Amino acid sequence: MPRTRHAGLVLRGAFFVRGTVRETVYAGGMQRLASAIALVSALVACSHVERQTDDVSPTCSVWVLGTAQDGGVPHVGCQKACCTDARREGLARYPACLGVVDREHGKTLLVEATPSIDAQITLLQEVTGLRGTGRNPVDAVLLTHAHIGHYAGLVHFGREVASTKKLPVWVSERMAAFLRTHGPWKQLVELEQIELHTIRLGDEFRPLPAIRVRAIPVPHRDEYSDTMAFQISGPNRTVLFVPDIDRWDDDHDERRLDRLLDSVDVAYLDGTFWDGSELPGRDLAEIPHPLITATMLRLADRARHMPGSLRFLHLNHTNPLWREPALQRRLEEAGFGLARRGEQVDL
């Protein structure tokens, strides 16, 4: 089957029906969120948007389970309006995370183990109807690096909580060494609650039978492990997931961004900061990320030709894109998208 390059044929959820899924989870919100997602899918099924001629239920999909930076929203210790308003309104935004489903084999993959892992696994189970096997709530886990918003949720697989059994966790060789030699992670390995599978950077591997993944190294603050971006492929399409990166290109690799986007249909990109002004008094050189405004300039042509296919996540709690409709309109009018929890991409 030829690969389509039109994002409107790829995305479900927020791309077709903007703003339908609200990121509220308190007071029974998880059930409402699942209902909203079901409504989105029904609306998409009745949509007059051009569709593929072989309109068959997809065997593989990616679901967005979180869109915030490591600390989520509200953010511990934050007394700014972005967090005080969220606490008052009962609004929660989870750290960046994807769920991948292989329906043919009835299996699910969690991409990142965030501090919000229970809510995110619950959402994945709600939207897929799959509950894992035995004590394992998912069939595999894939991790980009060892910063707290990306792997700290592993503790919930320990004997004090889920007490999983040989749950496959795919990581780089350096991160595997870190997990094997540092507590509390090494206990998960020693008690066989997780089973580490090491990834050779650049090679393709299959964490689920119908899902192919390629890990690409990217520069980041690598205190305990290296950092990877993932190209996640199903039978027909490929999604890029790169929530954390210091810079798109540098003197060591002038074509890194081109390689990351090669053969990709939908890309979830590091959108931590809008333009840097949202963190007055902080030295951004200590916490480097490409600014959204700079990424928009760099990828303007691609966004015009593939509107909606370049989508930002991993937003810092202070990022004004969360709260300012004018900036959201500017983003969308330029052909970019703001990732929404609950949106789906069929692979």
pLDDT band per the 50, 70, 90 thresholds, residue 11: low
> CA 141 → CA 93, 121, 137, 335, distances in Å?
21, 11, 10, 32
Within 10 A of 298 (CB to CB), how many other CB atoms are there? 14
Mean pLDDT of 287-294: 87
Q: What is the pLDDT of residues 83-119, one digit of tens each?
A: 999 999 999 999 999 999 999 999 999 999 999 999 9
pLDDT digits (tens, 9 = 90+) for 22-50: 343 333 444 445 444 444 443 333 332 23
Element (H, E) at 302: helix 300-305
What pLDDT is attached to residue 339?
A: 97
21, 13 in Cβ contact below 8 A? Answer: yes
What is the end-to-end Cα distance of the chain in Å, rounded? 12
Give the start-to-end residue ranges of the domains of the chain. Answer: 7-346
Determine the pLDDT at residue 1: 31
Distance CA 69, CA 67 (A): 7
Lookup: tokens for 36:
């909203």
Give the whole-number percent of the chain exceeding pLDDT 70: 82
Q: Cβ neighbours of residue 306 under 8 Å, at least 6 residues apart?
A: 5, 6, 7, 335
C-alpha to C-alpha distance for 66 and 47, rounded to whole angstroms: 26
Backbone phi, then psi, for 116, in 5-degree steps? -100, 30
Q: Left, alpha or beta for 121 (phi > 0: left; psi -120 to 50: alpha)?
A: alpha
Cis preceding-peptide flag for 184 (omega within 30 of 0): yes
pLDDT digits (tens, 9 = 90+) for 141-178: 999 988 898 899 999 999 999 999 999 999 999 999 99
To which H or E segment does residue 29 belong?
helix 29-45
* Spatial CB neighbours of 31, under 8 Å, sequence gap ≥ 6: 126
Q: Which of 341, 217, 221, 324 is nearest to 275 (CA)?
A: 324
pLDDT band at 286 (very low <50, low <70, confident <90, very high): low
pLDDT confidence of residue 223: 80
pTM of the model: 0.85
How much is the CA Rg of the chain, to the nearest whole Å? 19
Please say if the pLDDT value at position 325 is more than 80: yes
In tens, the pLDDT along 138-151 reads 999 999 988 898 89
Q: For the domain covering 7-346, report its CATH number.
A: 3.60.15.10
Average pLDDT of the chain, as a whole number = 84
Mean pLDDT of 69-92: 92
Render pLDDT for 201-221 as a digit per residue (tens, 0 to 9). 889 999 999 999 999 999 877
Q: Which two tokens stand for residue 289?
A: 């990320």
Quick one: DSSP state of residue 56?
-
Q: CA separation (Å) from 283 to 89, 202, 204?
A: 31, 33, 37
Question: Angle at the Cα of 124 (from 315 to 325), degrees rounded to 5?
Answer: 30
